[in-house]
Amino acid sequence: MAYQKLQAGRAALVTPSDTDLIPSVSGGTNNGCALYIGTPGNVRVKTVGGDDVIFTGVYAGQFFPVNVLQVFASGTTAGEIVALW
């Protein structure tokens, strides 16, 4: 069984955008991150695999274990989203 790291070493607030990817906190390219959802709603994301999908009914306080490159402004109603690397 492969080892999976379950702790984040870095975090940053996410500004949903229909044009911009989530920037890497280390200054390089974001290769994907997990999310923490602060306020409930829907979250539209682009995954590292290139999928554009809306997750409906995401809970406040939920960790979002999807490898994400972008959180879209359109289709996202959840707030206080934090990227975790």
Q: How many CB atoms lie within 10 A of CB 74?
A: 9
What's the whole-model pTM score? 0.89
How far does the chain reach from its first CA to its final CA, in angstroms? 22
pLDDT in tens, the chain (85 residues): 555 556 888 899 999 999 999 988 877 778 899 999 999 999 999 999 999 999 999 999 999 999 999 999 999 999 999 999 8
The pLDDT of residue 7: 82
Q: How far is CA 28 from the centre of its chain?
A: 17
What distance in Å separates the CA atoms of residue 5 and residue 15, rounded to the nearest whole number? 25
